[in-house]
Amino acid sequence: MPKSSKILIAVFLALSISVSFTVSHFSNAQDSENNVSAIETSDLNSESFTASTEENSVYICPEATSLEEINPLCPGIIVLKLGETIDGLTLSATTYEGQEYYLVFGFTNGGGGVNLPPVADANGPYEGDGGLPIILDASNSSDPNNDPLQYRWDFDDDGIWDTDWLNIPKVDRIWNNDYEEIIKLEVSDGQFTATDTTSVEVISPKTFKEETIDILESAKTGNGKIDRKIDQIIKHIENSLNDDLWIDRSHLVFFKKDNCFDLEIFNPDPDKIGLEEMFEFEPDEMELKTKGIFKGKCLGPKIGLRVFHEEYIAAKLMFEELRGRPRIPEEIKLVFQEVINKLIKADQLLAKVAVFDAENIPIQNPKFTKIVEHQISKAKEELIKAEQELAKNRPSKAIMRLGKAWLYAQFAIKFANLETKP
C-alpha cells in the first residue's frame, strides 16, 4: 500500500453482519511510533455497508481519496484478519475504557479516514540574558499520526505571529530589554493546529546594576562613616546608569560622534591600547590617550566605556574595604561581595553582547574582514583574561578586561559597517 495515501483513506470493520463504525479520536489508543488507527467495534445498527469478508477482519481502500470512494468493491481493496500483516499494515485489537477497538498499524495520516490533531509543546519556562539569544524549543511537540509538523511563534502573546511557519522546532529570540511575559506556540500537521503557551523571563545588564543600588541602600547601618562610603559607591553606580550612555538596557553607546573614529590613523594592534591607560582618565573628560586611535577629547562623557570605568571605581572601593578594613561588620562585607558579583555579571553581559553582535553583523566591505576578525579575536582573549583575573580575586582588574573586550568588539562592529574607506 502506498504510504502517501490521502487523509481520507478509510477502514471499514467487516463482520458477518451488516455494520457501520465510528472512529474514536482518543489519544490513549494511539501509538505514534507505530502509527495506529483505532476503530470502534460498536454502533452495529446501520446497514450502510455490507462487506463480504470474514468475521474479525477489516477492509482497506488504499486508493481512495474521499469517503465516497470507500466501499467493499473499491479498487485494490486489502482485507486484514486479526494478527495479519499485508503491505506493512497489521490488524490488532484492544479494549479501552470498556470499549473494544480494532487497531490498524502502519497507516500514514491516521488511516481510517482520521487525521488526529497534533500536540503542541512550547517547553519552558525560559530564562535568559538581555541582548543574547534564547533558544525556544518545540521539539517535544508531536503528532499522533507521525505527520510532519510546522511551527510558528508569538513572542509577546499579542495575537500576531512573529514568525512565519517554520519546518524546524527551534528558533532563536533576542530581547534587548527586560521581559517577563507569555509566549505562544502554534503547530500544524497541514490540516489541524494546536497551541501551547509558556513564560519567558529576561534580565538585562542594566537591571543587574540597578539592583545593586537597592542592595546597598538597604545595607546602611546608621554609622556615618560606613554610610558615606556606601553613598560614594552608589554614586559611581548611578553614573554608570546615565541614560546617555545606553542605547537600550543591553547595549552601550560607542562614540559620541561618528567622526571621532579615524580609520586613517587607526592601528588595530592590541598593544596600542594599554589596559591601565584606558582606565586612568578624568571621568568628566573621558580622554583616552591611546596612541592615535582617538582624536583628543572627542570621546566626551557619553561613550559607553564610561560604564565600565564607573564600575571599576565602585568595585575598587568595595574591594579595598573588604581587604583593608577587618573592623567593617561582616554583614557589610557580604553586601559588598554580593554587589561586586552583580556588577561583574552585568559587565560580563555587556561585553558578551558586544562580541555576539560583532560576530553576527554582516561585513559590508570584504577588505575589512581580517580587521574585523582580529578585533573579535582580541575581544574574546580579553574575556578569558577577565575570567583569569576573577580566579585571582581581582574584580577591578576583571572589569577593566571586560571594558577592553567591549571596546574591541565595538571596533569590529565599526569596521564591519564601513562600506568604503572614509
Confidence of residue 272 (pLDDT cuts 50, 70, 90): low
pLDDT at 115: 66
pLDDT at 419: 78
pLDDT at 356: 97
**3-class DSSP state of 33:** coil
pLDDT at 246: 93
- Out of 8-22, 97-111, 122-136, 212-226, pick the least confident: 8-22
Please say if the pLDDT value at position 50 is more than 50: no
pLDDT single digits (tens) 187-234: 998 888 999 999 999 999 999 999 999 999 999 988 888 899 999 999
pLDDT at 17: 23
State the Cα–Cα distance between residues 11 and 22, nearest whole angstrom.
Answer: 10
Percent of the chain with pLDDT over 90: 43
Mean pLDDT of 31-35: 37
Mean pLDDT of 180-190: 93
Which of the listed ranges 127-141, 253-267, 281-295, 365-379 does the model predict with the highest average pLDDT? 127-141
Q: Higher-confidence residue: 29 or 265?
A: 265
Q: Higher-confidence residue: 384 or 30?
A: 384
Q: Higher-confidence residue: 51 or 25?
A: 51
| Phi-psi sector, 9: left (phi>0), alpha (psi -120 to 50), beta | beta
Mean pLDDT, the chain, integer: 76
Confidence of residue 21 (pLDDT cuts 50, 70, 90): very low
The answer to whether 291 and 271 have CB atoms below 8 angstroms apart is no
State the Cα–Cα distance between residues 71 and 110, nearest whole angstrom.
Answer: 19
Q: What are the beta bridge partners of residue 246?
A: 252
- Out of 64-73, 159-168, 264-273, 317-326, pick the least confident: 264-273
- Out of 93-102, 285-294, 374-383, pick the least confident: 285-294
Q: Higher-confidence residue: 292 or 249?
A: 249
Which of the listed ranges 1-15, 63-77, 179-193, 250-264 does the model predict with the highest average pLDDT? 179-193
Confidence of residue 51 (pLDDT cuts 50, 70, 90): very low
Confidence of residue 337 (pLDDT cuts 50, 70, 90): very high
Q: What are the beta bridge partners of residue 154?
A: 184
- Out of 122-136, 261-275, 349-363, pick the least confident: 261-275
- Out of 39-48, 144-153, 280-289, 322-331, pick the least confident: 39-48
How long is the chain? 422
Please say if the pLDDT value at position 33 is more than 60: no
Nine cell digits for residue 389: 583575573
State the Cα–Cα distance between residues 180 and 46, nearest whole angstrom.
Answer: 56
Confidence of residue 411 (pLDDT cuts 50, 70, 90): confident
The answer, as to whether pTM is greater than 0.85, is no
Confidence of residue 264 (pLDDT cuts 50, 70, 90): very low
Q: Which CATH architecture best describes the domain 126-203?
A: Sandwich (2.60)
pLDDT at 328: 79
**Please, how many CA atoms are within 13 Å of residue 9, restricted to the half-sphere of its CB?**
24
Confidence of residue 125 (pLDDT cuts 50, 70, 90): very high
The three-point CA angle 46-47-50 to 5° equals: 130
pLDDT at 18: 23
Domain residues of the chain, as ranges? Answer: 11-105, 126-203, 206-417
Q: Higher-confidence residue: 422 or 364?
A: 364
